[in-house]
Amino acid sequence: MKIYTKTGDKGTTALFGGTRVSKHHIRIDSYGTVDELNSWIGLIRDQAVDHNTKETLIHIQDRLFTLGAILATDPEKAILKSGKERLNIPKISIKDIELLETEMDKMNDDLPPMTHFILPGGHQSVSFCHITRCVCRRAERLASELNENEPFDELVLQYLNRLSDYLFVLARKLSYDLQAEEIKWVPEKTN
């Protein structure tokens, strides 16, 4: 199988189902950003993180491929006139969201209470988490815009929202584990 097909040389690409759209279409931007998010999560997984975190991140990466497939599907081509699904696309489930919540709760149990916003940084691994969280929020914004025009399963947006929260808590956990300084944001007073 060749990697290059030359079918996108004029600035279009195919969705699942065969519909061709421009490469700057909001649907492409949405799942492209999810792909970027998945790569950043891989970078976090490559850091010195504990086994449970690595396993959770692998599961998240799998779910993001599923989420990308959902976003890459032309909704008009996904369902036959009979109402049966034409394309065999996996789903995001409430259990996927609950896993993120459970992992956040476990991490939070060991962390000091948060009293202020925290400036991103303190250690390279922590910074990677914050960058990934920002990419996740961008993916959520793009998917939200797409959903307004071409609705899809609401669990996709819920998953992205919860994932950004997970990444924030993971950044705090890594700060704690690595004994990195968490700098509280205290707004400077102006004269």
Distances (CA, A) of 95 to 64, 99, 102, 144: 14, 6, 10, 21
Write down the pTM of the prediction: 0.88
pLDDT on residue 85 = 64
Distance between start and end Cα atoms, the chain = 65
- What gap in Å lies between CA 164 and CA 155, rounded to an integer? 14
Contact 75, 42 (CB under 8 A): no
Region of poorest pLDDT, from 28-32, 104-108, 130-134, 165-169: 28-32
**Nearest of 120, 146, 144, 145 to residue 134 by alpha carbon:** 120
CATH for 20-80+91-111+120-177, among 3.40.1280.10, 3.30.2080.10, 3.40.718.10, 1.20.1200.10? 1.20.1200.10
pLDDT on residue 171 = 97
The 10s digit of each residue's pLDDT in 70-104 is 998 877 766 655 566 666 778 999 999 999 999 99
